Amino acid sequence: MKKSYAAIGAVLAASLALTACNSGNNNNNASSSPSASPSASASASASASASPVASATTVTGTSFENWGSFGFDLAGNRHAPYTEITADNVNDLGIVWSHDFKELDADVKNGNQAFPVVVDGVIYVTTSGNQVFAFDAVTGNQMWHWEPPAEEAANYSKSGIIANRGVAVGDGKVFMLTIDNQLVALDQKTGEQVNKVKLSDVIDPSVTLENGYYETTAPLYYDGVVYIGSSGGDNGVRGFEAALKSSDLTPAWDSPFWTVPPKGQDWLANSNFQGGGAVWCPPVIDEETGIMYFAVGNPAPDFYGESRPGDNPYTDSVVAVEAKTGKLVWAKQEISHDLWDYDAAASPMILKAKVNGEDRKIVVEGGKSGQWFAWDAATGEVIYDGIPFARIDHPTPTPEGVMVYPGALGGENYAPETYDPATNYVLIPAVEQGMFIMSAKDQEHAATPDMPGASAFGTTMGEVPEGEDGSAYGTITAIDVNTGKQAYQIKTKDPQRGGLSSTATGLAFFGELDGKINALDIKSGKIIWTFQVPGDNIQAAPAIFTVDGKEYITFTSGGTKPKVYVFALGGDKTQGDSGAADTSDVHAG
């Protein structure tokens, strides 16, 4: 490995081998003795595989309130209108059931970042390495389990990251994107594979691992269409948002929405790279207007901009298109001609909120730049233009190196925000960490072909100089949407990588990298409940749902002990051992 790439290599390697954590009790009420499930079949058509837990064919309960997609609903505000768990009884929360994914299948990989989806009493959750599990939400009994063919999974490591952030459920199917750029459709009830397509066949022949593309994002289902983004911006791929029919996985738009021009055209006329502009996280959709909004990542090469002059439009932007056609409605850029890897990484949110005393429908998003933005949902009119929620100081990178704040891992990474209508607060999870970055001297040096997961970085990150602050911690910032002013900001020991979910009782739930789960009183900004799960590295926000009127909360944890937990009032309050927080996670999409 070239010496100049050593620092970035250490960061990227963290996606493949997360820091070890302390052991703890599994507290698994539904599990029998563990053993590995059968290996994946070599056939492309894999049926549900057996695992050593109690199985179920019927779901517990008769009435259900769901967490039906990545962001709760299509607006993506991660706010559920459930009221059983309150500030007065939150201390009675405990674990109802949990599973250690590696005890269910020894092939499950480290580093889980899965956001659960819950539909009609069934929890659908993925793992790193693209396995999918369906559990009875109340008992934890396994409904089904799918894993990719072994010969396909063997290629995943080429991407440099093997995390997966969840599924979409609709049309009687469960949809997942795989690391090797395929979209899989599974039968919602049985887990049997219904369909699978290569994105290189339905998007463009270039969409392959060999060309730097991979998929970590969750898809989104709406009205017979599955919407998918792209990962690999740091590899210099050509980013896109695309739409496929849920019935047969054929294109639903005339063409994808490409976030950057073709290689060699427009602002890429003299570039050796395809421009970046990956779409890290799922879009959101306004069902009243049919407008879809998605956030776009950085241009490539990351730290070197001489070969991509101008603003590099649609990168570091929120883009609004017609959901049915993909036709552009408006686009607003957060950072023009980005030289610091300041993706608009997290999903936007659509809010109906009080703004300057008036009721408005707006779209909001917080960027890795440490700034929060709001626009009119219909027109893109700027409402709040970059409200800071992190330390901001980013001089132009040089080959000798400069210190920038936030670094490439923060402010708001992929971790999603939540919105509380009662207080009119948006809560922003952030990474506060400076970084020393060095730019390339020319295009040849901007390429990093020997680095897994980043071949257009331009060029590297180095040791923080003496006297500069490179420490990593997290913040949660409450922004009053009416005024655009900060209501409060709390500090957390480790970076905020998972994100938040909230309920109608004024509580927001979030996890931490050492395995703690917290409840935040949204109005006061006080943490009023903490539970230590026997695992580590919670890197996804919870889903909240009800079965027969009882409220449940489900989280996944990652690290070297990937698990899934379900909490409810009256559950087991036995605390586990804290995990070892990994604070050097890959920042690729």
Is the pLDDT at 2 greater than 70? The verdict is no
Residue with tokens 């707006």: 362
Among the listed residues 275, 259, 342, 340, the one whose alpha carbon sits nearest the alpha carbon of residue 308 = 275
Return the SS3 of 445. helix
Distances in whole angstroms, Cα of residue 546 to Cα of each of 81, 451, 505, 540? 10, 45, 14, 20
**Mean pLDDT of the 278-299 span:** 97
Q: What is the pLDDT of residues 95-118, one digit of tens each?
A: 999 999 999 999 999 888 999 999
Read off the pLDDT of each residue in 182-192 and give the average, rounded to a whole number. 97
Torsion sign (Cα): 201, 207, 210, 213: negative
- pLDDT in the model for residue 23: 31
pTM for this entry: 0.90
In this predicted model, what pLDDT tens digit does every residue of 296-349 receive, in sequence order?
999 999 999 999 999 999 999 999 999 999 999 999 999 999 999 999 999 999
Structure tokens at 190: 């049985």
User: Looking at the predicted structure, is the pLDDT value of residue 289 above 70?
Assistant: yes
Q: Cα separation of 21 and 18, whole Å?
A: 9
Q: Say how many CA atoms lie within 13 Å of 57 toward its Cβ.
A: 0
pLDDT (0 to 100) of residue 55: 79
Interval 529-539: pLDDT, tens: 999 998 789 99
DSSP sequence for 504-520: TTSEEEEE-TTSEEEEE
pLDDT at 454: 64
Reported as a single tens digit per residue, the pLDDT across 371-382 is 999 999 999 999
Specify the residue for token string 């997961």: 453
Look at residue 31 and tell me whether its pLDDT is greater than 80. no
**Residue, of 57 and 526, whose pLDDT is higher:** 526
| pLDDT score at 108 | 92
Over residues 435-447, mean pLDDT: 88
pLDDT bin (cut points 50, 70, 90) of residue 584 is low
Q: Which two tokens stand for residue 366?
A: 């917080």
Look up residue 98 and give its two tokens. 């949990």
Q: What is the pLDDT of residue 342?
A: 97
Quickly state the pLDDT bin for 451 (edges 50, 70, 90).
low
Answer whether CATH 1.10.12 is correct for domain 84-108+429-434+469-588: no
Of the candidate ranges 240-254, 262-276, 416-430, the one whose mean pLDDT is the lowest: 262-276
22 has pLDDT over 60: no
Residue-level pLDDT at 130: 95
- Residue-level pLDDT at 467: 84
Give dist(CA 276, CA 457) in Å, integer. 10
Tens digits of per-residue pLDDT, 395-435? 999 999 999 999 999 899 999 999 999 999 999 999 999 99
Residues of the chain with pLDDT > 70, as a percent, come to 89
- How close are the terminal C-alpha atoms of the chain, in Å? 23
**Residue 80 in this model has a pLDDT that exceeds 60:** yes
Residue 256 in this model has a pLDDT that exceeds 90: yes
Q: What is the reported pLDDT for 14?
A: 35
pLDDT in tens, 43-77: 233 333 334 577 778 999 999 999 999 999 999 99
* Chain centre distance of CA 384: 24
Overall average pLDDT of the 434-443 stretch? 91
Q: Is the pLDDT of residue 245 over 90?
A: yes
* pLDDT for 559: 86
137 or 16: which leads in pLDDT: 137
Q: 33 pLDDT exceeds 70? A: no
Ranges of each domain in the chain: 84-108+429-434+469-588
CA distance 45 to 134: 18
Instruction: Write out pLDDT tens, residues 206-220.
Output: 999 999 999 999 999
pLDDT score at 1: 30
Which pLDDT value is given to residue 44? 30
According to the model, what pLDDT value does residue 43 have? 29
What is the pLDDT, as a whole number, of residue 157? 85
**Tell me, what's the pLDDT at 8?**
38
Is a pLDDT exceeding 50 seen at residue 166? Answer: yes
- Sign of dihedral through CA atoms 315, 319, 322, 324? positive
Average pLDDT, the chain: 89
pLDDT at 442: 87
